[in-house]
Amino acid sequence: MSYISKWFSETWQIFINELREVFHDSGVMIIFFFAGLVYPPLYNWIYSIGSVDEMPVAVVDLSQGSYSRRYLQKLDATRECELAYSCISLEEAQELMVSGKVHGIVLIPEDFDTRIVHAEQATVSTYADMSTFLYYKALTIGTNLVMLDEVHTIQTERYAASGFTGQDALQLVEPIQYDDTRLYNPNISFTMFFVYMCLFMILQQVMFYGSTTLAGTLREEGRSFARQIGGHGVGRIVLGRGAAYFLIFMFLGVYGAILVPWLFHMPIQASFWDTLILLAFFVADIILFSFTWSSAIAKRETVLVLLLFVSPIAVFLTGFTWPASNFSPFWKVISYVFPTTFGCRAYMTLSNTGSLSAIAPELWYMTIQTVVYYVLASVAMLVENKIITVRQKG
């Protein structure tokens, strides 16, 4: 009984001590509370529009017929494109594109109307500014939608001319039909997929950089927590310190992953409690992840200088753009190092489906990660303690 109460009182002391260290360190406070509180709404704000609509397009209509006019009117009516300039030559349009006034060119050749009237295939040429994929996307989707619609209209007109109307014509034009459901993000906007990924990424990176900065400080000042072993056990130190960060990061997590998206009207299907459960798994994981890797940090400022570049890499390893199924085996293994690889995926899935069972595999992976990092963090502390003792004796 006395052991248990001693265990609890010591863990409690370590917990209080760690909180005190955090709140007395202005560098760590900036990372935790400036980055943790300002970045989630800032990124939400930056990406709140998230797509290119009514992109300015230059048009070169060499055909000047009724079919080309109808095509262009339909293009102007799309959400994606706006006919901003009408040019007399491709060169003129190219100049507009180079100067950044338009981000796409649509060229309708001279024989466009003639070919359609002769029932031959007519071609529209498009030129996309590839400097941003959203420009390319807007032009491609805009022109393809109009093309499909025109194909449909022209075919129906022709069948009508040969005496097929109504259902008969439709059967011929589109013998196989389809209903497409574009789930979650029908306009392929950045808002959704980037912001969801970003919110969990911020939590991990803030925890990692903040806690390693603190660990570096303590080592620099010869007050590393590993020195405390002897009086306290490893478990008490890891759990006591961990509990301090758990408190801070559950707060930052509820703020960043629940409150901020709600304020920005993100379409989140997940209930508050389900997100809280996911956060608990994820926060435990990032804490032990940071404890493990902070073992290698001896000085306080070095971690930001040396490891800030890991952030964009971790972003790509979540597989939020480039699909995880297309990772090479090597990078796939590396991606398992980061809690965000599973955390971001789980948060996205949970936000989309609102079903906790859909993210069961990710919760499992995060549990395994947490256990592995718990063991590694404990071992690292024991090793550090050994080194310190040997040095002190030597």
Partner 1 sequence: MLQNLYNVIRREIRIWRNRPIYFLGSVGVMLAATLFFTTFMKEGLPQELRIGVVDLDNSSTSRNFRQQLDATQMGQVVEFASLSAAQRELETGRINGYVVVPEHFDQEVQAFHCPKLQVQVNLMYPVIGGALAYKDILFMVNLTNGAVQRQVLRAKGVPEYEIMGRLQPITTDAHYIGNAPTNYSYYLVNMILMGILGMCVTLVVAYSVGSELKYGTSKHLLECTGDDIWTAIVGKLVPYTVLFTVLGTCLQLLLFGPLHYPIAGNVGWLILATLAMILAYEAIAVFIVSVVPTLRLGVCLSALYSVLGFSFAGFTLPISAIPAGVQGLSILFPLRFYYLIYTKVVYFGCGFDAWWPYLVALLAFQLLPFVLCKRLYNAYKYQNYPRN
**Of residues 309-338, which lie at the interface with partner 1 (CB under 8 A)?**
309, 311-313, 316, 319-328, 330-331
For the bound state, the minimum distance from the C-beta of residue 94 to partner 1, rounded and expressed in Å, comes to 8
Number of residues binding to partner 1, judged by CB under 8 A: 112
* DSSP category for residue 232: B
For partner 1, the closer of residues 9 and 144 by Cβ is 144
Of the residues 58, 93, 128, 283, which one makes contact with partner 1 according to CB under 8 A: 128
Structure tokens at 56: 């300015």
234-263 positions binding partner 1, by CB under 8 A: none
Of the residues 290, 345, 381, 385, which one makes contact with partner 1 according to CB under 8 A: 345
CA dihedral 196, 201, 204, 206 (to 10 degrees): -110
Q: How far lies 283's CA from each of 142, 211, 243, 271, 337, in Å?
A: 43, 13, 10, 18, 15
Does 84 interact with partner 1 (rule: CB under 8 A)? Answer: no
358-377 positions binding partner 1, by CB under 8 A: 358-359, 361
Length of the chain, in residues: 394
Distance CA 28, CA 292 (A): 18
Buried b (16+ CB within 10 A) or exposed e, 258-272: bebbeebebebebee
For the bound state, the minimum distance from the C-beta of residue 285 to partner 1, rounded and expressed in Å, comes to 19
Q: Which stretch binds partner 1 (CB under 8 A): 80-88, 115-123, 231-239, 245-253?
A: 115-123
Distance CA 208, CA 218 (A): 15
Q: Which stretch binds partner 1 (CB under 8 A): 79-87, 112-120, 253-261, 277-285?
A: 112-120
Write the CB contacts of 71 (distance below 8 Å, at least 6 apart in sequence). Answer: 108, 124, 146, 150
For the bound state, the minimum distance from the C-beta of residue 120 to partner 1, rounded and expressed in Å, comes to 4
For the bound state, the minimum distance from the C-beta of residue 163 to partner 1, rounded and expressed in Å, comes to 12
Of the residues 2, 5, 182, 231, which one makes contact with partner 1 according to CB under 8 A: 182
**Residue 181, Cβ neighbours under 10 Å: how many?**
5
Of the residues 125, 166, 235, 272, which one makes contact with partner 1 according to CB under 8 A: 125
